[in-house]
């Protein structure tokens, strides 16, 4: 009975969107990174489903339309890239170089550390795209045998972590250029990092937003390439 209710799309859509709006409101009120709306929404939805004994398959069916929007949201990022592209004309070569190498550093380091600590290949495949914005990361993870739910959570945690430690790490390593700081925030911590970069300044924020898309493309290309090399 309760499972049937959650397979009805308008019901589950209203439930998830309502939860998300409440989580967003809470996040804006408290401004606590820990209360990132993605975390709180996921936790509340899981809590309700467990409490009411709803099967995941029923929820999956009912929430299909929201899940479906992941693809179009990646396509829409192309517009953001276009809006900010004038910023990089002067620094095109350095930005493309930094993002390409950063993408390789991110994939190789996470794969080696995770393997060294005994993680299996499913976990490793879920970790590979961790520095990329969630909808792109989910696509890469699913393609190469990862667990998309794990990837989604890792990516958000990574973003929040990078946003918190970013300014400290860059001060310690002497990264002072505005463009470099924005690029480093966006490429390592995507959306959450960009929110932090916007607080640093307009240039940092815009460059960070742009690097989300660039890092997504670079990583989508690098993951399959590196998979051929580091087996």
Query: Within 73-112, which residues bind another protein (CB under 8 A)?
Result: 73-83, 85, 91, 93-95, 97-99, 101-103, 105-106, 109-110
- Least gap, CB of 81 to another protein (angstroms): 5
Please list every residue from 37 through 76 that binds another protein, using CB under 8 A. Answer: 37-38, 41-42, 45-46, 49-50, 56, 59-60, 63-64, 66-67, 69-76
Number of H helices, E strands in the chain: 12, 0
Nearest alpha-carbon partner for 163 in 142, 144, 184: 184
12/52 Cα distance (integer angstroms):
14
Task: Among 5, 33, 122, 203, indicate the residue that binds another protein (CB under 8 A).
Answer: 122
Distances in Å between the Cα of 37 and the Cα atoms of 30, 33, 116 are 11, 9, 33
- Least gap, CB of 19 to another protein (angstroms): 8
136/73 Cα distance (integer angstroms):
9
148/140 Cα distance (integer angstroms):
9
Choose the stretch contacting another protein; rule: CB under 8 A; options: 1-9, 164-172, 197-205: 164-172
Task: Among 149, 199, 201, 202, indicate the residue that binds another protein (CB under 8 A).
Answer: 149
Please list every residue from 21 through 40 that binds another protein, using CB under 8 A. Answer: 24, 37-38
Choose the stretch contacting another protein; rule: CB under 8 A; options: 2-10, 154-162, 198-206: 154-162
The two tokens of residue 124 are 């490793």
- Least gap, CB of 94 to another protein (angstroms): 3
Is residue 195 part of the contact set for another protein (CB under 8 A)? no
Contact predicate 158/182, CB 8 Å: no
Is residue 126 part of the contact set for another protein (CB under 8 A)? yes
Task: Among 6, 16, 58, 205, indicate the residue that binds another protein (CB under 8 A).
Answer: 16
Q: How many residues bind another protein (CB under 8 A)?
A: 107
Contact predicate 141/14, CB 8 Å: no
Please list every residue from 204 through 223 that binds another protein, using CB under 8 A. Answer: 211, 213, 216-217, 220-221
102/107 Cα distance (integer angstroms):
9
The two tokens of residue 148 are 């998309």
Is residue 19 part of the contact set for another protein (CB under 8 A)? yes
Is residue 157 part of the contact set for another protein (CB under 8 A)? yes
Is residue 11 part of the contact set for another protein (CB under 8 A)? no
Distances in Å between the Cα of 41 and the Cα atoms of 12, 19, 50, 65, 141 are 13, 6, 14, 17, 22
């Amino acid at each position: 009975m309760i499972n049937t209710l959650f397979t009805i799309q308008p019901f589950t859509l209203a439930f998830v969107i309502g939860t998300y709006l409440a989580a967003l409101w809470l996040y804006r009120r408290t401004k606590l990174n820990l209360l990132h709306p993605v975390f709180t929404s996921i936790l509340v939805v899981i809590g309700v489903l467990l409490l009411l004994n709803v099967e995941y398959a029923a929820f999956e069916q009912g929430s299909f339309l929201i899940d479906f929007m992941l693809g179009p949201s990646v396509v829409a990022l192309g517009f953001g890239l276009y809006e900010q592209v004038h910023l990089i004309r002067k620094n095109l070569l350095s930005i493309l170089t930094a993002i390409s190498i950063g993408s390789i550093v991110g994939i190789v380091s996470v794969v080696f550390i995770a393997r060294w600590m005994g993680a299996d290949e499913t976990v490793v495949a879920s970790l590979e795209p961790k520095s990329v914005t969630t909808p792109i990361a989910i696509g890469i993870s699913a393609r190469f045998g990862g667990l998309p739910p794990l990837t989604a959570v890792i990516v958000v945690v990574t973003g929040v972590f990078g946003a918190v430690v970013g300014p400290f790490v860059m001060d310690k390593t002497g990264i002072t250029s505005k463009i470099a700081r924005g690029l480093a925030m966006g490429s390592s911590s995507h959306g959450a990092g960009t929110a932090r970069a916007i607080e640093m300044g307009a240039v940092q924020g815009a460059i960070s937003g742009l690097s989300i898309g660039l890092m997504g493309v670079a990583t989508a290309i690098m993951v399959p390439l590196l998979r051929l090399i580091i087996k």
